[in-house]
Amino acid sequence: MSAKVMVVDDEAGVRSLLTTVLKREKYETVALADAAALKQALEGAQPDVILLDLKLPDADGLELLPQIKRQWPQTEVIILTGHATLDAAVSATKLGAYDFQKKPFDHKSLLLSVERALEHKQLTEEASSLRQALSSLSGGAAPVFQSAAMKAVVRTVERVAPSDVSILITGRAARARKSSRISFTR
């Protein structure tokens, strides 16, 4: 399944160019001309990435960004602008933008940013899924997690889960010998 990229820009030439470049890379694309169309699209299917113009005729991209992130929290937003300032870039990042690209943009750089945004989205979703799985395991539903030793192991795993440390859990099943070991590696 190809990733879905939404292009929101008031310049028809930019929309057309971006759509052509993205389709060539096998992305599914949706092109919108203004904030009104974007607000209407917020009720529909969630894209993976949005390329959002900072200055639209009917709204400012920075004002739209919180609405997008509220409705589609997993969607990565890349701001495009011909009016790049450091303040705008910082504000966009604080509001949840993944990247900030100045127009005219280099197609390779923009495609790399889209790729990285998709990778970031995938990693975020995987981390969230793992946290949910771990949370359900530590909820005490499974009898094996009723022992104090196993609860301690699960607590340790929960503490380390947000990091990128690999964990190897080993131990014995026999009651006579209660041993378990947790190894951390980078």
Q: Which position has the higher pLDDT, 32 or 172?
A: 32
- Tens digit of each residue's pLDDT (9 = 90 or more) over 38-92: 999 999 999 999 999 999 999 998 999 999 999 999 999 999 988 778 888 888 8
Round the average pLDDT of the chain to a whole number and report it: 84
Which residues lie closer than 8 Å to 119 by C-beta, 6 or more apart? none
CATH code that applies to domain 4-126:
3.40.50.2300
Query: Residue ranges of the domains in the chain?
Result: 4-126, 143-185
What tens digit of pLDDT does each residue of 121-135 get? 999 888 888 888 777
